Amino acid sequence: MTVKLVVKKIGMTSIIDSSGLVTSSTILQVQTCTVVGFKSKDLDGYESVVLGYGEVKSTKLNKAQRVYYEKNNVEPKLGMKEFRTSNSAKYEKGLEFRSDIFVPGQFVDVHGVTIGKGFAGVMKRHGFGGLRASHGVSVSHRSHGSTGGRQDPGKVFKNKKMAGHMGAVSNTIQNLKVLKIDAEKNLVFVKGSVPGHKNSLLTINNAVKKAL
């Protein structure tokens, strides 16, 4: 079953296997993801399943949101995400997904927003080596140096690597291996790191470039 769940990034830890190999992993907690509605080709132009995640009081929602949940006979949710499917008939309203839909050893894709770094120079942003430490360089050791030619071409080309805003962009890490599942606490342990800061909300789904 292909489904995209909303998870919270708890943090990172190390997992030691029976042979003593230490592997760094990220702990992801699956939020309460419930099917709250559907979209069809006739009305919306495509077919998808709408998931509601988290818990919230109905007084925190606006009228349109309350009416939507009342019409679909489901409890109010903090937010909604949807994933496309070619066969929404196999999903039923009120169906809840937990971490145990994943199994150790399978591969997943995790999508989120990277940590914002603010305005950064070229050495931090692009990995430039910087200028020489002596012999004529004065107060510009971390600058990017020349940005273009003289009369020809007489301009700075677009997409030139320069200083600027770093981080806070949408990013997907593909083919992360699931190391461990804690069904009781609704946790998924994946190998390596994922985008975002602690307690940020991410999405996780079966890897699109790996066979199940």
125 & 197 share domain = no
Tell me the CA distances in angstroms from 86 to 89, 166, 207, one per residue in order. Answer: 9, 37, 17
pTM to 2 decimal places:
0.84
93 & 48 share domain = yes
106 & 201 share domain = yes
76 & 145 share domain = no
pLDDT at 39: 87
126 & 191 share domain = no
Give me the residues paired with residue 109 across strands: 205
Question: Which residue in the block uniquely carries the two structure tokens 């997943």?
Answer: 108
Domain membership of residue 40 (yes or no) is: yes
What's the total number of domains in the chain?
Answer: 2
pLDDT at 70: 87
Q: Is the dihedral of CA 51, 96, 204, 170 positive or negative?
A: positive
Torsion on CA atoms 187, 190, 192, 197, rounded to nearest 10: -40
Q: Domain of 124?
A: 120-166
CATH number of domain containing 93: 2.40.30.10
What does the chain come to in residues?
A: 212
Domain membership of residue 212 (yes or no) is: no
Domain membership of residue 211 (yes or no) is: no
Write out the DSSP string of 2-19: ---EEEEEEEEEEEE-TT
83 & 159 share domain = no
Tell me the CA distances in angstroms from 178 to 175, 181, 206, one per residue in order. Answer: 9, 8, 10
Domain membership of residue 181 (yes or no) is: yes
Domain membership of residue 27 (yes or no) is: yes
Looking from the CA of 75 toward its CB, the CA atoms found within 13 Å total 12
All residue ranges of the chain with pLDDT < 70 are 1
pLDDT at 94: 85
